[in-house]
Structure 1
Amino acid sequence: MTYLDNLLFGYYPYICLTIFLLGSLVRFDRDQYTWKSDSSQLLRAGQLRWGSNLFHVGVLFLLMGHTVGMLTPHFIYEPFISAGNKQIMAMVSGGAFGVLGFIGVSLLLHRRLSDERIRINSKTSDIVLLVLLWLQLALGLATIPLSAEHLDGSMMMKLAGWAQHIVTFRAGAPELLAEASIVFKLHMFLGMTIFLVFPFTRLVHVWSGFGAAAYLVRPYQLVRSRRVGLVEREPLSRSAR
């Protein structure tokens, strides 16, 4: 292990996660008017529809798959599926949805750079974020041939072990990546960097997406008429007037 490996895969994850959580909280508290996705649909809708749908379908599946696959301890799924079969399943499903996400983000990036009106109305963070996501998806697809060299699931187990060591604050996490390819390391480093820049970009709207799930369990809204509780009065007679 080198000092750089220990820094990038031992300390850098905690720096990214701290900024990710605290930065999101501070932005929500201080700059709620910037808490949005800044849609450019009015400028050009067609390519946005295809790119956004493909990107979100692909990335949401990958995010869920990575979270469950990396953070689930081996002993939980071992009685049902072997590490090797789990890796093959991850390669097939991750490859399919990775291609969808990559096509989607490529359309979004091309749209934002090729259309002058959209480019002028784009923030620097919008373009930088799309480039980071494009590179991340490309690196993720590049790991599939490398994973095929370890169909016994050994490398996947080490990568999952690293993630579980990080979230449980256990020592020795960087050592698990000693034999990992540079492509895996770049993919992991860039993924952590996306968490680092998350609070400063339009990605914060992801929190709102998860928050919208609360509508499924919230009580029904009660709408009461203004007339409820009012006693109808009989009109006064002319003599009383």
Structure 2
Amino acid sequence: MNDYLGSSYLIWGVFPYVALTLFFVVPFIRMVYRPFGMSTRASGIFLGRDILGLATHLLHWGIFLVFFGHLAGLIGGILGWGSWVGAFFWMATLGGLAAITGSIIALVRRVQVPEMRAMSQPDDYIVHGFLIAILGIAIYQALVHKIWGVSFTAAPWFASLWQFSPQPELMASAPLLTKLHVLLAFAFAAYFPFTKLIHAWTLPVNYFVRPYQVLRTAAKKFQNGWVMGCWEFKGVTDKSYMSYLAAGVVLVLGLIGLTLPGPNLDGLVQEAQAKTTAAEPSEATSGRTVLDGYPLYVSQCARCHGLEGKGDGPGAESPTFSAVPRDLTAGHFQFISTNNGVASDADLRHVIVNGLHGSGMPNFSRLSERQVNSLIETVNFMWKDRPAAGERIEVPPRPRATTTAMIAQGKQEYASQCTVCHGDTGAGDGVLTKLRTDAAGHVVPPRNLRTEPLKGGSSPTQLYYRIAAGMPRAKDEWLMPHYANLGPERIWAIIAYLEQDILPPRQIANR
């Protein structure tokens, strides 16, 4: 499901425009043709008035906090302002808790009070269903999954909509809950103008300085003549308030959209764009605005790896991750194919495009080659004192037939070389289970080859690289020793044994 949501241009490039068009256009149509429908049905005369007051305050003030929190997250996510993204988390979380509590209280009252049930219409329940689902998903992700900093990813995508150059690929790496939250929010925006909530469009912009009593007018003529057919626009009516509010929302979001690409890191934006543009002029001149370089890094990577690549992003400690995000400035990359333990650009490309299975790092296969190149340039820029990568280990052709003798040889080699960490059965229960740590001091238990996905991939080529190149811990230190000295015949025998007796069939079939 996550893969489908991440790849659909219809969802991330078309549907938002449909929803926003309905959200902004339908209220004006309703105001012209059904002006007295721009209100909500009063229910304060029924039982539970005291609890209604509590629910109303929680719901409305909560929504205000959520709105302004998202506005801060939108600006901070585009410009790479971590403090604004932090403010978004607190404002949206507190506002969301208040709003969902108010919505639940109001819904319970509507169900329990007979008079309320009698006057209720389907949209009364649908509205609360939308609110509870949208807010509930966001709160669960923030407080349980602790995947924070997602506004770094969603904000540039949202800004691209206002530039009329949507970039659906930016949302491909977002967590599934984030995608569901955003899609439900846009669906709600499309449904919003057909519900009683349309009264929000008549919010008086001069509320704090208005007279104590405001009279609605039923007149449809301007005193000096007709304006826009039957449109009354004296500057003080509900219709004018709606115009001011709509214009203000469009203006603010439009200005935010124009800030793309936004963040910069010591000139890295220009440097990366110059290199990738020179390398791939056909894509660069396609006429479509494409996020790349450091702004792309902020959008896709900063929520975990941090704005400076130190592995300290706001979502770095999510319990859904099985590994701590890498400190890119140290360059301790584990999934390599070189003979000296230093990751090459090809190794970085493999990890970016394919992700690390079961670790929390998604794949970025939907980014263009130009964008991937710019991410590699960004990582290289952050990698302090990067040493030169060694030669890539050559993977010789695999024997055409896997014989019984070959599997037996592989079993013997596995028992000799691998059981100390991975255990006799490959369950990751060898004697060195808790003794391995990465460069930051985090315990890195050996992989359970029977049940856990292999982070670097389970293709024959990647299995060969893991065995021959090993997995470096730091300079001249290893999490997994390299066994290139075994030679191709013995390495292929180990791979044959793993595929035959240890690796789950599902992992082999999906590689």
TM-score, normalised to structure 1, is: 0.78
Q: Unaligned stretches of 5+ in structure 2?
A: 212-511
**Cα distance in 1, alignment partners of residues 92 and 207 from structure 2:** 30
Question: Aligned partners of 1:54, 1:106: CA distance in 2, in Å?
Answer: 10
- Equivalent pair of 1:48/1:108 in contact (CA under 8 Å): yes
1:48 aligns to what?
A: 52
2:67 partner SS = helix
For residue 123 of structure 1, the aligned residue among 121, 132, 152 is 121
Q: 1:63 and 2:57 equivalent? A: no
Q: 2:20 aligned with 1:17, yes or no?
A: yes
CA contact (8 A) 1:132 1:194 kept: yes
Distance 2:115 2:37 in 1: 21
Partner of 1:38: 41
Percent identity reads: 24
Q: Secondary structure at the match of 1:188?
A: helix
Which sections of structure 1, spanning at least 5 residues, go unmatched? 220-241
**Cα distance in 2 for residues equivalent to 1:7 and 1:112:** 37
Per the alignment, do residues 109 and 216 of structure 1 end up closer, same or farther by CA in structure 2, a change over 3 Å counting?
Answer: closer
Distance 1:129 1:63 in 2: 17
Counterpart of 1:213 in 2: which secondary structure? coil
Equivalent-residue separation in structure 2 for 1:95 and 1:40 (angstroms): 29
**Aligned residue runs from structure 1 range 103-182, under 5 A:** 103-145=101-143, 148-149=146-147, 153=149, 155-172=150-167, 174-182=168-176
| Aligned pairs, number | 207
Distance 1:69 1:177, change over 3 A: same
Q: Deviations over 1:6-53 (max 9, x none)?
A: 211111100001111111111111111111011211113122111111
Opposite residue 182 of structure 2, the aligned amino acid is M
Asked whether the equivalents of residues 71 and 163 of structure 1 are also in contact (C-alpha less than 8 Å), the reply is no
How far the C-alpha of 1:208 sits from its partner, in A, is 1.1
Give the letter aligned to residue 21 of structure 2.
T
Match of 2:206 among 191, 210, 214: 214
Q: Distance in 1 between matches of 2:188 and 2:107?
A: 16
Q: Tell me the secondary structure at the aligned position of residue 42 of structure 2.
A: coil
Residues 1:184 and 2:178 are matched in the alignment: yes
CA contact (8 A) 2:70 2:92 kept: no
Q: What is the letter of the counterpart of residue 173 of structure 2?
A: E
> Would you identify which runs of 4 or more consecutive aligned residues in structure 1 move more than 4 Å?
1-4, 215-219
Note the aligned Cα RMSD (angstroms): 2.3
2: CA distance, partners of 1:102 / 1:178: 28
Q: Distance in 1 between matches of 2:206 and 2:53?
A: 26
Counterpart of 1:120, as a letter, is A
Higher RCO structure (Cα 8 Å, ≥6 apart): 1
Q: After the TM superposition, which of the residue ranges 92-101 and 33-42 deviates more from structure 2?
A: 92-101
Cα deviation digits, residues 150-199 of structure 1 (max 9, x gap): 5xx4x321111111111221232x10111111110110011101110111
Structure 2: distance between partners of 1:109 and 1:8: 30
The DSSP-based 3-state class of the residue aligned with 2:68 is helix
Q: Could you tell me how far 1:147 is from its partner in structure 2?
A: 7.1
Q: Which residue of 2 aligns with 1:225?
A: none
Give, in whole Å, the separation in 1 of the partners of 2:174 and 2:141.
11
What's the CA shift for 1:131? 1.1
Which letter does structure 1 place at the counterpart of 2:146? A
Query: Which amino acid is 1:100 matched to?
Result: A
Q: What residue in structure 2 maps to residue 235 of structure 1?
A: none
- Computing the radius of gyration over CA atoms, which structure comes out larger, 1 or 2? 2
Counterpart residue identity of residue 139, structure 1: I
